Amino acid sequence: MTAVPHFSRWGDPAKAGPLPEATLNLVRAAFQEPEPLASLPLEALVPAPSALTDVQLTALADVVGADSVDVSDETRARHAGGCSTVDLLHRRSGELSDAPDGVVCPASHDEVQQLLAWAAEQRVAVVPFGGGTSVVGGLSPLREGFNAVVALDLWRMNRVLDVDPVSMTATLEPGLRGPGAEAALAQHGMTLGHLPQSFEYATIGGFAAARSSGQSSAGYGRFDALVTALRVATPIGDWQLGRGPANAAGPDLRQLVLGSEGAFGVITAVTVRTRPLPTERWYAAFRMPTFTAGAAALREISRTKVPVTVVRLSDEAETAINLANPDAIGSDSNTGALLIAGIEGDAAYVQAGREGLTAIFAKHGSQSVDETAGEHWFSGRYNGPYLRDGLLDEGVLVDTLETVTTWGNLDATYAAVSAAVHAACGETPHILLCHISHLYETGASLYFTVAVRATDDPIAQWHVIKTAASDAMTGAGASITHHHAIGRDHQPWLEREIGPVGIAVLRAVKAELDPHGILNPGILVP
């Protein structure tokens, strides 16, 4: 069973320990003895008094039961935002303006539908809440114009509604977390294969609402590509989408819901395609001579359709950091660019992929193959976010910035974002890392990690860096986000990407489905 997440850190509290000594030595050297950032205990987090009246609380209890309505300080504090660096800094410091006035936990589609009708009448904003892992301010609604805000925590809606072994599909409720979904599907010999770094805590509904992409996307696909049908509760009624794998019945309206972050409705059921459970897996680490050479190899893989499940190519800086921290990937005296590749499936599929990948990587200059390091990465692939908390403790501000662009524009985007971040950090000691982890025939994602010595105002410091990177992404013709959604953090750049007509379309959809504007106000739609 997944542990209850920490209130102001990532994930399992049992894993929220201090940095290893080797990492601490690296931090002290690279960031010149930064000043530690304080973190308040849970009992010190006291949100403003709830704005919900006794009459409103009784009405909510009539829908979901008294035990499923919570206005305690602790529960409201735990639902104050998501897991972005800014969200964590807020909770660490006791800034809880994003705390809802109450947390309501429905158990069915019908209860959600009733709650939305009630909220529209009462002018109460509703924030759908899954695993709370948003890293773009997707759980920080605007309060202006509303009498109160409630978080709609969907954890009770965690069932498998249907399994179709002939079609290889399954219908899942939105509150089912990643591990629970995989365990349930495994009983039928199936897997979803959707394994983002947030896998242990994120939910099926969250995957859909954020248009998530997992670490195994090269083999299983993005989450939006796995969805065949949806059921959505909206303020104007029940909305069911999807009758088969494909159709020509007008525009695909499922795509309006996928990535909508709860702004258009509350996802109450998701039908997904699955794959047979793999019988074998193979992971290995390759040393490419340069990041550019590694990218060329990945481009060839994406076009030749060599079997592959996972790819992760680190640039020279990220590779060097990995080598300085044995807990991250294992140590090696070589330099270059570290490339992790993995294949899962039956024996023939794995063998074909192993031979094909090894040949292509050798063609592009790979210098070594290390299966032990590949398995090391596999066993620790969900541990990255815990490192951020330890670095924050030591006074190092850490955030991730991701984009996607065409192969022809990859180098220019990489250079533009790198230059912008370095300029934004200025003389303050910092490190910028990057990797490629999602491939397409026409392009790939770039995932940057920036670590910088924190100033006296780390949130203002973050805004400067985020703005510079986002301006560089959109200025280079790349996307503002590949898989982190829009939330509030990316919203200022959305019109640059989809244009004024696109914004008008989003506003029109919002006005039709949510005429009172109660659903996650301020998120996604400007």
Would you tell me how many other CB atoms lie within 10 Å of the CB of residue 88? 25
Same topology, domains 160-276 and 280-379? Answer is no
Q: How far apart are CA 349 and CA 490, in angstroms?
A: 39
Q: How far apart are CA 57 and CA 30, in angstroms?
A: 52
Instruction: Determine the topology of domain 160-276 in CATH.
Output: 3.30.465
Beta carbons of 63 and 152 less than 8 angstroms apart? no
pLDDT at 25: 86
- Percentages helix, strand, coil for the chain, rounded to the nearest 5? 40, 20, 40
pLDDT at 330: 46
Q: How far apart are CA 98 and CA 81, in angstroms?
A: 6
Give the strand pairing for 443-453 and 430-436: antiparallel
Per-residue CA distances from 369 to 119, 200, 286, 353 (Å)? 58, 29, 5, 14
Please enumerate in sequence order all residues whose Cβ is within 8 A of that of 451, keeping only pairs 6 or more positions apart, or say none.
31, 391, 396, 397, 398, 430, 431, 432, 433
Query: Domain spans of the chain?
Result: 49-153, 160-276, 280-379
User: φ, ψ for residue 302 (rounded to 5)?
Assistant: -65, -25
pLDDT at 405: 98
Q: How many CA atoms lie within 13 A of 60 on its CB side?
A: 28
pLDDT at 396: 96
Segments of the chain scoring below 50 in pLDDT = 324, 326-331, 333
Token output for 171:
């219908």
Beta carbons of 486 and 408 less than 8 angstroms apart? no
Q: Quick one: residue 53, left, alpha or beta (phi over 0 = left, psi -120 to 50 = alpha)?
A: beta
Beta carbons of 483 and 103 less than 8 angstroms apart? no
Would you tell me how many other CB atoms lie within 10 Å of the CB of residue 519? 30
Which of 176, 183, 126, 133 is CA-nearest to residue 155? 176
Number of helices followed by number of strands (H, E) in the chain: 19, 18
For residue 283, the cross-strand partners are 342
Q: How far apart are CA 354 and CA 282, in angstroms?
A: 8
Q: How far apart are CA 390 and CA 36, in angstroms?
A: 10
For 469-494, give one letter per residue: b (16+ CB within 10 A) or e: bbbbbbebebbbbbbbbbbbbbbbbb
In CATH, what number does 280-379 get?
3.30.70.3450
Instruction: Determine the topology of domain 49-153 in CATH.
Output: 3.30.43
Query: pLDDT tens digit string along 393-418?
Result: 999 999 999 999 999 999 999 999 99
Question: What is the pTM for the complete model shown?
Answer: 0.95
197: helix, strand or coil:
coil
For residue 203, the cross-strand partners are 177
pLDDT at 65: 98
Vertex 216, ends 210 and 218: CA angle to 5°? 100
Beta carbons of 90 and 81 less than 8 angstroms apart? yes
Q: What is the H or E stretch that residue 116 is in?
A: helix 109-122
Q: Write down the residue that tokens 């509703």 correspond to.
A: 126
22 burial level (CB within 10 Å; 0-12, 13-18, 19+): middle
Q: Return the C-alpha torsion angle 479, 485, 490, 496, nearest 10.
A: 40
